[in-house]
Structure 1
C-alpha cells in the first residue's frame, strides 16, 4: 500500500512530458494502490491509441484534461475533462483527442 498525498495536477503534467518523449505518444504510472484497488495516471497524446485490450473486472476512467474516446462492441463512449464513467467491456480501446490525461481506477483479481 502507498501512503501520503499526491499532487495530481503536477503528476499529470509530468506524465504528459513523458508521453511527449515516448515513441508511442503515451505514458502511465501507478498513483495509488490498496489491496485490489489501483489508481493509474494515464497521459496519451492527441490522436494516439491505447490498443484493444481486456477490461479488468471493474474499471472507471476520470478524465483530467483533453478527451478520451473509448470504443467497444457498443456505442463509442466520449469522455471530456471532468467526466467520470465506468469503462465498457469486455474489450475496448482508447483514443485521445487532444493531449489527454486521466485516472484509471481498477479493481483487479
Structure 2
C-alpha cells in the first residue's frame, strides 16, 4: 500500500484502475480545495526546479490555471496585474540577484 494524501489530476484514479490497482480517493471543495491547489503548486514548482522541462513547466501552468479558476480571478485581470507589476518593478529577464542592502 502506498499513501499519498495529495491532489492529483482528475483521470489518475482511472489510470490506477487500468494498472489493476484500486485507488482510494475523496474530493475536496471550497477552501480545502484551494489549499490543496496551493500545495500542488509548490510540488509542481519543485518538480520543475529539479527537471526544468516543458512537461514540468506545463504542469505548473495547469495548476496556476486551476488556482485562477478556483479563486475566480479573471484571466485578463491576471495578465493586467502581471504587466503592471513588470512595468513598476521590472521582470526577471536580466538575472539580477540582490545580495544585500546596506544602510
TM-score over 0.5 for the pair: no
Structure (1 or 2) with the greater strand fraction? 1
Which structure is higher in RCO with an 8 Å CA cutoff and minimum separation 6?
Answer: 1
Q: Which has the larger radius of gyration?
A: 2
Give the TM-score normalised by structure 2. 0.29
Structure (1 or 2) with the greater helix fraction? 2
